[in-house]
Amino acid sequence: MRNPSYASWWQHLVLCCICGLILTPVILVVWVSLGSPGSQTGQWTLDYWRLVLGFAIQNDQGKWVTSPFPALLWLLNSLKVAFIYAVLSTVLAAMAAYGLVRKNIYASKPIANGLLFMQFFPSVLALVAVYILVRKLGFYIPSLGVNSHGGLVVVYLGGLAFFIWFLKEQIAGLPSEYEESARVSSASSWQTMTYVILPLLLPGLLVTFLISFTMAFGEFPLASILLQQQDQYTLAIGSQFYLSEQYYNWGEFCAFALLSASPAVILLLLIQYWLVHFSQTPVKESDYVAVDP
């Protein structure tokens, strides 16, 4: 505090230039979504946002028109699929990672290495096989078949290898003294994981939830194959129709892009706040050792 070290002016200038380069595309998208005000033919308007949000606007001929695409329905579909997948993937990956690390499963190390090896294969290689399997599954359980959000979530759950590997490393770095104290108190394996491992693993679980939510929210190849009706589309599929040959509107597309990006940004800010809050909260040994048998 007595000898503060301030960055020189050129360092601030470099940082401002970098921020400008990063924010320029976002500013341009916002500018176009507002009608490109200040350009040669553009003027400030909220008509593109009204169309995306499902409201009618008055065109140049005085007629009231609406957007042919249900953007809010696509947003709801994306939120539903991403949230369900994020919850299930976080829970299943945590249990699988805990079993690999703490349960001394036979050949656990080769299994973990196999999970890591599976990440090198892109999901597009299995598109045909996935479609056939989901179509067969739909004969017995229609809610998990083709053109259903349940089937899409089931397919997404096939990619848990990364999250299992990530949480496995997190659990391996946790101290084992708390778990040993819980076992001395006659706690079961489920109680040990619920009351000891999960509180200690909470930052890793939040990061897993955020990554899985973001991946499912913007995933396109699998969703475009499995979802075949407009009322079942997600945002990633619906965005392509705004720039098709039959309907070409950059302003509405930019408003749609900002709308589709807002849930992930809000979730990121919330999780960032939670991570900072939990990192500043002191951890007491009694919080994790006192487990009721």
Domain of residue 105 covers 71-237+273-289
Q: Which residue has the higher pLDDT, 293 or 262?
A: 262
Establish if 12 belongs to a structural domain. no
pLDDT band at residue 145 under the 50/70/90 scheme: confident
Establish if 223 belongs to a structural domain. yes
Query: What pLDDT is recorded for position 6?
Result: 55
Query: What pLDDT is recorded for position 108?
Result: 67
Query: What pLDDT is recorded for position 80?
Result: 93
Query: What pLDDT is recorded for position 172?
Result: 81
Q: What is the pLDDT of residues 244-261, one digit of tens each?
A: 777 778 888 899 989 888
Establish if 78 belongs to a structural domain. yes
Supply the mean pLDDT for the chain.
82
Decide if pLDDT at 293 tops 60. no
* Residues ≥6 apart with Cβ < 8 Å to 167: 93, 94, 97, 98, 201, 204, 205, 208
Query: What pLDDT is recorded for position 95?
Result: 86
Tokens of 288: 């994790």
pTM above 0.85, yes or no: no
Domain count, the chain: 1
CA distances from 15 to 5, 8, 291 (A): 17, 11, 50
How many other CB atoms are there within 10 angstroms of residue 249's CB atom?
Answer: 15
Please compute the mean of the pLDDT values over residues 232-253 and round it to a whole number. Answer: 83
Q: What is the pLDDT of residues 175-192, one digit of tens each?
A: 777 777 877 877 777 787
Decide if pLDDT at 112 tops 80. no
Q: Which amino acid is at 244?
A: S
Establish if 10 belongs to a structural domain. no
CB 93 within 8 A of CB 170: no
Lowest mean pLDDT across 112-121, 126-135, 174-183, 282-291: 282-291
Q: Which residue has the higher pLDDT, 88 or 3?
A: 88
Q: What is the pLDDT of residues 43-64, one digit of tens each?
A: 888 888 988 988 888 877 778 8
Please compute the mean of the pLDDT values over residues 106-114 and round it to a whole number. Answer: 71
Place of tokens 């040990």: 192
CB 252 within 8 A of CB 243: no
How many other CB atoms are there within 10 angstroms of residue 254's CB atom?
Answer: 22
Query: What pLDDT is recorded for position 89?
Result: 93
CA distances from 197 to 17, 28, 37, 92, 182 (A): 44, 45, 54, 14, 11
Establish if 109 belongs to a structural domain. yes
Place of tokens 């579909």: 77
- The secondary structure of residue 78, as a DSSP letter, is H
Please compute the mean of the pLDDT values over residues 251-272 and round it to a whole number. Answer: 86
Establish if 60 belongs to a structural domain. no
Place of tokens 């400008």: 20
Tokens of 184: 């001395």
Query: What pLDDT is recorded for position 74?
Result: 92
Helix (H) or strand (E) holding 20: helix 9-33
Query: What pLDDT is recorded for position 97?
Result: 85
Q: Which residue has the higher pLDDT, 122 or 25?
A: 25
CATH of the domain at 107: 1.10.3720.10
Establish if 84 belongs to a structural domain. yes
Decide if pLDDT at 71 tops 80. yes
CB 213 within 8 A of CB 264: yes
Please compute the mean of the pLDDT values over residues 228-249 and round it to a whole number. Answer: 84
Please compute the mean of the pLDDT values over residues 225-235 and round it to a whole number. Answer: 89
Q: How many CA atoms lie within 13 A of 32 on its CB side?
A: 15
Please compute the mean of the pLDDT values over residues 219-225 and round it to a whole number. Answer: 88
Establish if 38 belongs to a structural domain. no
